[in-house]
Amino acid sequence: MRTQIATYEFEVHTTPLEKFNFTEAGDFVIEFDDAKERRLQLIFKGGGVALRITLIDCFDLEKIKVNGKFPRHLLEIIDSLWIHELTTNFRKSNPYDNLMEQVNHFVLPLGDNVVEVAAWEYELRRIR
């Protein structure tokens, strides 16, 4: 397992005022403020394979450090144990489907929460 920064396009505000939502297509949307107080939306696409939201005080922050530092960016976990577990369970029901080969493990550390999303990709939108 290795953590890398997925994008440097923004840094999360220390008080991001996050909101969570789902689209009709099943995509997961997080709206939040960045460090420059711009309102952003991250849309995770791919049918919402899996989602975890953990109180930051209950999350092992060592897992998401990059070069020994805690980043306030969107992160990606490479060789994720969580994706491996999801893939194993998915293949039990769908042995010939390759859906999980496209899934990535994204992590977004927010103010009080750490959000983990298993999705194909993400799209960043500026609201204001």
* Residue 28 structure tokens: 């997961």
C-alpha distances out from residue 122 to 29, 58, 68, 105, Å: 9, 25, 25, 11
**What value does the mean pLDDT of the chain take?**
93
Q: Which of 63, 57, 95 is nearest to 76 (CA)?
A: 63
Residues 76-91: tens digit of each pLDDT = 999 999 999 999 999 9
pLDDT tier, 93 (very low <50, low <70, confident <90, very high otherwise): very high
Tokens of 1: 């397992």
Across 56-81, average pLDDT: 94
E strands in the chain: 2-5, 19-22, 28-33, 39-45, 50-55, 75-78, 104-109, 113-119, 121-126
pTM above 0.85, yes or no: yes
pLDDT of 52 over the 80 cut: yes
